[in-house]
Amino acid sequence: MLYSEKGFIEIQNDDYFFNIGLIENYEQVIKEWDDPDPNKVPGIPAKNTFKQNGNVVPFIAYAILNKNKLANKIYYDIRLVKPNGEISQNKMEELKIKVNPVTVRLMYRANQIYGWGFDETDQKGKYKVIIVIYDTETFKKTIELIFTLE
């Protein structure tokens, strides 16, 4: 399992490159990735501390480095572990990262995004976002991103 308390992690092998970050304002980030400014590269404003009455959304950007992997579909499963160790019932499986054709070595964002909204009733403390990324062949990685809800 790969682990980060920074709210951000990079994963790379010979076939794939992933940037995964916990973000709050997902609408703005999606807009920047879907309609990029030609004068700058879109980023991932990842953070590891969030406030109640806000959102926590894992944002996944990827590139395919091996042209032989262009046909693969890539998915992810996601779940949230609360500070008391309880696994949130709000989890998703088989979210699509890549299902459409892409170009080798260009960065794209995941097709489907899922996150959580928090309010004043949610427990403060350290949460874990567990993400399992996998393709239709043999690639599989588990990532744990830690964040604090204040």
Sorting pLDDT into bands at 50, 70 and 90, what band is 107?
confident
Average of per-residue pLDDT values in the chain? 92
Which 8-state DSSP code applies to residue 137?
A: S
- Cβ atoms of 147 and 20 within 8 Å: the answer is no
- How many Cβ atoms from other residues are within 10 Å of residue 113's Cβ? 18
Task: Check whether 50 has a pLDDT greater than 80.
Answer: yes
Sorting pLDDT into bands at 50, 70 and 90, what band is 8?
very high
- Cβ atoms of 124 and 114 within 8 Å: the answer is no
Sorting pLDDT into bands at 50, 70 and 90, what band is 98?
confident
For the chain, the residue count is: 150
- How many Cβ atoms from other residues are within 10 Å of residue 32's Cβ? 17
Compute the distance between CA of residue 58 and CA of residue 10 in angstroms, rounded to an integer. Answer: 13
Look up the CATH architecture of domain 2-149. Sandwich (2.60)
pLDDT at residue 145 in the model: 98
Sorting pLDDT into bands at 50, 70 and 90, what band is 84?
very high
Sequence letter at residue 87 = I
Q: Could you tell me which residues come within 8 angstroms of residue 10 by beta carbon, excluding any fewer than 6 positions away?
A: 17, 18, 19, 20
Domain limits of the chain? 2-149
Pairing of β 140-149 and β 49-50: parallel
pLDDT at residue 142 in the model: 97
Average pLDDT (73-91) is 92
Over pLDDT 90: what percentage of the chain? 71
pLDDT at residue 78 in the model: 95
Sorting pLDDT into bands at 50, 70 and 90, what band is 37?
confident
pLDDT at residue 88 in the model: 87
Q: Could you tell me which residues come within 8 angstroms of residue 110 by beta carbon, excluding any fewer than 6 positions away?
A: 59, 60, 61, 62, 76, 95, 96, 97, 98
- How many Cβ atoms from other residues are within 10 Å of residue 2's Cβ? 15
